[in-house]
């Protein structure tokens, strides 16, 4: 079975369209969504409609949870809160319902993987997986983890292997593709479709062959300026567009 995993779209519809086009060429058996369909970006309706069409299963991101009133956003900074509230006012009931039905975590026991937006330790808290310290915290829930655990939220692409005795190592994924053959859980941080923050402006997503155990990190070009312009035209916070140019 080949699966595709995408997340942190953040209402960046041109980026999502480019990723979906690439995924269609790969023709996976299922497409999994890692949360944050909305927030920051200018096309929540188009983004949600396309996700509804292509996604097999998904989880609720913190921006999504803010839109449907399932997380406290009072400590988010003003510009972020503004776009979350604007999104709630903009989307249709059907689109709201799509977000509202998403769970915090999704487990596929047969294929031995799970999805969570932030750390799967307490998924409703949306803790970030940024580095080795945050991965080590996962030893507390090791028995719950699967062979491979797909995460979003940080907008980076990383791969960590839990090596036992409260240790973990980060694996170099610069080659884009590698075989997953480890006894202990692997934490795959899948990057962002619509707001990458690793200095690469291209949209990111991941594919995984559950039989051959081959994990692949993908990057796709899209029309960044189209999104920057739309954000300015709608008078949404400019920085959410301008930062897309450098991928920060």
Residue 151 or 161: which CB sits closer to Fe ion?
Answer: 151
Nearest distance in Å: CB 128, Fe ion: 10
Using CB atoms, what's the residue nearest to Fe ion?
Answer: 36
Residue 117 or 230: which CB sits closer to Fe ion?
Answer: 117
Residue 162 or 244: which CB sits closer to Fe ion?
Answer: 244
Residue 98 exposed, middle or buried by CB count within 10 Å (0-12, 13-18, 19+): buried
Residue 7 or 185: which CB sits closer to Fe ion?
Answer: 7
Who's near 152: CB < 8 A, 6+ residues apart?
7, 8, 34, 35, 36, 61, 117, 118, 189, 190, 192
Tell me: does residue 64 bind Fe ion (CB under 5 A). Answer: no
Among 36, 139, 224, 230, interactor with Fe ion by CB under 5 A: 36
CB-CB contact of 9 with 193 (8 Å):
yes
Cα radius of gyration (the chain):
17
Q: How many CB atoms lie within 10 A of CB 233?
A: 10
105 forms beta bridges with: 116
Scanning 5-13, 80-88, 136-144, 173-181 for contacts with Fe ion by CB under 5 A, the matching segment is 5-13
Scanning 2-10, 21-29, 177-185, 221-229 for contacts with Fe ion by CB under 5 A, the matching segment is 2-10
Alpha helices in the chain (DSSP H): 13-26, 44-54, 62-67, 78-90, 93-100, 132-136, 224-233, 239-242
CA distances from 213 to 22, 62, 111, 148, 206 (A): 20, 30, 11, 10, 13
Residue 75 or 181: which CB sits closer to Fe ion?
Answer: 75
Among 6, 8, 59, 224, interactor with Fe ion by CB under 5 A: 8
Nearest distance in Å: CB 7, Fe ion: 7
Nearest distance in Å: CB 62, Fe ion: 7
DSSP 112-126: TEEEESS-TTSGGG-
Scanning 8-16, 26-34, 95-103, 208-216 for contacts with Fe ion by CB under 5 A, the matching segment is 8-16
Per-position x/- string for 80-119, each x denoting binding to Fe ion as judged by CB under 5 A, each - no binding:
----------------------------------------
Scanning 15-23, 28-36, 42-50, 198-206 for contacts with Fe ion by CB under 5 A, the matching segment is 28-36
Residue 14 or 196: which CB sits closer to Fe ion?
Answer: 196
Question: Between the CA atoms of 175, 61, 117 and 48, what dihedral angle is there, to the nearest 10 degrees?
Answer: -50
Residues of this chain that bind Fe ion (CB under 5 A): 8, 36
């Amino acid at each position: 079975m080949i699966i595709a995993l995408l997340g942190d779209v953040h209402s960046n519809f041109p980026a999502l369209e480019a990723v979906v086009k690439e995924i269609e060429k790969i023709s996976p058996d299922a497409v999994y969504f890692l949360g944050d369909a909305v927030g920051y970006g200018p096309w929540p309706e188009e983004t949600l409609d396309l996700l509804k069409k292509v996604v097999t299963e998904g989880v609720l991101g913190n921006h999504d949870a803010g839109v449907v009133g399932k997380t406290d956003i009072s400590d988010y900074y003003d510009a972020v809160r503004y776009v979350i509230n604007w999104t709630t006012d903009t989307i249709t009931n059907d689109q709201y319902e799509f977000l509202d039905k998403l769970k915090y975590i999704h487990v596929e026991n047969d294929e031995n993987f799970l999805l969570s937006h932030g750390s799967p330790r307490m998924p409703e808290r949306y803790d970030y997986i940024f580095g080795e310290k945050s991965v080590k915290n996962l030893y507390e829930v090791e028995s719950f983890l699967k062979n491979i655990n797909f995460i979003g939220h940080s907008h980076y692409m990383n791969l960590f292997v839990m090596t036992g005795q409260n240790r973990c190592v980060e694996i170099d994924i610069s080659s884009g593709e590698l075989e997953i053959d480890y006894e202990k859980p692997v934490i795959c941080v899948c990057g962002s479709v619509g707001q990458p923050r690793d200095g690469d402006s291209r949209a990111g997503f991941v594919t995984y062959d559950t039989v051959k155990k081959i994990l692949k990190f993908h990057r796709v070009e899209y029309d960044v300026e189209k999104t920057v312009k739309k954000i300015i035209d709608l008078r949404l916070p400019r920085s959410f567009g301008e930062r897309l140019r450098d991928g920060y």
